[in-house]
């Protein structure tokens, strides 16, 4: 009996109470790849869910699901890369943008933080787009904006470089004050909502006033500090909460998980990581969700891994759990020798019908 690839992949890799269609994506700006993590516990499912190393990209920074697409901001190439929910390339938005950071869906639009004035862009602003990618104009914002977050209560929050605070804005672009006052934090990067609807803030640098770098949980009603975990190593960039209540954060050296109850930190992946987002592939269109039968066996494997598929497989790549490319083949028919790999978890990326697919396997 043949195994439906899409169902096999999801059933094998997802766990817990979160829907099997939900996962977390995080940007690896060093390898120019988007890693896919388990939404429940943050473990790596696919270190190269999207591989942007073959496209013209610079420092990729922000990421968000927009309907049935994934939008990725490019800070140094001044563009927005758009991918389908299965990780295949869709399109790109260029022109009129400069020094992009975080982006998010806000009130059925896409808001992108734009810091620079090059390419005729408006410096220190929010660039607005329809979900179809049509440019809607700029809203002036706080100096050097770094991320934007829709609170779902009629207000938008914008983080910033230096000690400018976190700005509060309504959906029409009117600045209504500061959610976090200037001089409280030093260099805030990604902001997010946790499972309880409060704000999570990734604070990049120690402030002379005493609020040091780390992950802060702020009350969404009055910005009071509800919790704090210091981050003393690396350059803090992104943060998100997983389904089990713990928190992930990213730095220039990797992705880490904080046990919310004990504060214990554990490593998830190594590399130069940026922002996180959650995606739900239930929004996938019929053509994107069309599956290809593929199976790896035996799994776990000690010597030779056998591969079966209804269709021709090409461009096979094997990655370690931390995203390092270990093997690359132009084509494979039935088997792959893996006896030279040390014991551990690996991911096989392959191209089938011009679509990248991934399957996890374990080397004994």
Residues of the chain with pLDDT under 50: 1-20, 285-292
3-class SS string, the chain: CCCCHHHHHHHHHCCCCCCCCEEEEEEECCCCEEEEEECCCCCEEEEEEEECCCCCCCCEEEEEEECCEEEEEECCCCEEEEEECCCCEEEEEECCCCCEEEEEEECCEEEEEECCCHHHCCCCEEEEECCCCCEEEEEECCCCEEEEEECCCCEEEEEECCCCCEEEEECCCCEEEEEECCCCCEEEEEEEECCCCCEEEEEEECCCCCCCCEEEEECCCCCCEEEEEECCCCCCCEEEECCCCCEEEEECCEEEEECCCCCCEEEEEECCEEEEEEEEHHHCCHHHHCCCCEEEECCCECCEEEEEECCCCEEEEEEECCCCEEEEEEECCCEEECCCCCCEEEEEEEEECCEEEEEEEEEC
How far is residue 128's CA from residue 106's CA, in Å, rounded to a whole number? 9
> What pLDDT is stored for residue 21 in this prediction?
74
Please give the model's pTM, rounded to 2 decimal places: 0.79
Whether residue 300 is preceded by a cis peptide bond, meaning omega within 30 degrees of 0, is yes
34 and 271 Cβ atoms separated by less than 8 Å: no
Q: What is the pLDDT of residue 5?
A: 35
User: Residues 237-273, buried b or exposed e (16+ Cβ, 10 A)?
Assistant: bbbbbbbbebbbbbbeebbbbbebeeeeeeebbbbbb
End-to-end CA distance of the chain: 26
Backbone φ and ψ of 152, nearest 5°? 70, 10
Q: For residue range 38-62, list pLDDT tens digits in order.
A: 999 999 999 999 999 888 899 999 9
Phi-psi label, residue 253: left if phi above 0, alpha if psi -120 to 50, beta otherwise: alpha
Rounded-to-integer distance, Cα 298 and Cα 362, Å: 9
Q: Could you give all domains of the chain from N- to C-terminal order, each with its CATH number?
A: 19-283 (2.130.10.10), 292-363 (2.60.40.3080)
pLDDT, residue 321, reads 65
Distance CA 341, CA 348 (A): 13
User: Nearest-CA neighbor of 77 among 125, 111, 29, 110?
Assistant: 29
Q: What is the pLDDT of residue 323?
A: 64
């Amino acid at each position: 009996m043949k195994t439906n690839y899409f169902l096999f992949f999801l059933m094998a890799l997802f766990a817990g109470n979160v829907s099997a269609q939900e996962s977390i994506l995080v940007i690896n700006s060093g390898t120019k790849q988007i890693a896919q993590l388990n939404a429940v516990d943050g473990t790596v499912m696919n270190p190269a869910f999207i591989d942007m190393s073959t496209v013209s990209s610079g420092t990729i920074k922000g990421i968000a699901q927009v309907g049935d697409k994934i939008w990725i901001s490019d800070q140094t190439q001044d563009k927005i890369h758009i991918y389908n929910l299965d990780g295949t390339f869709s399109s790109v938005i260029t022109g009129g943008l400069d020094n992009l950071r975080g982006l998010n869906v806000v009130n059925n639009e896409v808001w992108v933080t734009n810091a620079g004035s090059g390419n005729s862009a408006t410096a220190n602003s929010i660039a607005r787009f329809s979900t179809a990618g049509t440019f809607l104009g700029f809203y002036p914002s706080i100096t050097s904006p770094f991320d934007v977050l829709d609170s779902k209560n009629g207000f938008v929050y914008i983080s910033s470089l230096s000690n400018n605070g976190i700005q509060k804005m309504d959906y029409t672009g009117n600045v209504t004050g500061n959610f976090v006052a200037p001089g409280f934090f030093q260099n805030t990067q990604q902001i997010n909502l946790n499972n309880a609807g409060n704000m999570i803030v990734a604070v990049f640098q120690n402030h002379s006033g005493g609020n040091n770098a780390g992950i802060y949980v702020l009350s969404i009603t009055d910005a009071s500090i509800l919790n704090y975990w210091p981050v003393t190593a690396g350059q803090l960039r992104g943060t998100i909460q997983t389904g089990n209540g713990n928190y992930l954060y990213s730095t220039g050296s990797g992705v880490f998980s904080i046990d919310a109850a004990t504060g214990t930190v554990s490593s998830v992946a190594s590399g130069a990581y940026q922002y996180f987002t959650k995606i739900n592939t239930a929004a996938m269109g019929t053509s994107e969700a069309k599956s290809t039968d593929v199976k790896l066996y035996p799994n776990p494997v000690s010597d030779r891994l056998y591969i079966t598929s209804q269709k021709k497989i090409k461009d096979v790549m094997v990655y370690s759990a931390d995203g390092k490319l270990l093997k690359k083949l132009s084509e494979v028919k039935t088997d792959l020798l893996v006896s030279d790999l040390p014991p551990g978890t690996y991911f096989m990326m392959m191209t089938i019908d011009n679509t990248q697919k991934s399957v996890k396997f374990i080397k004994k």
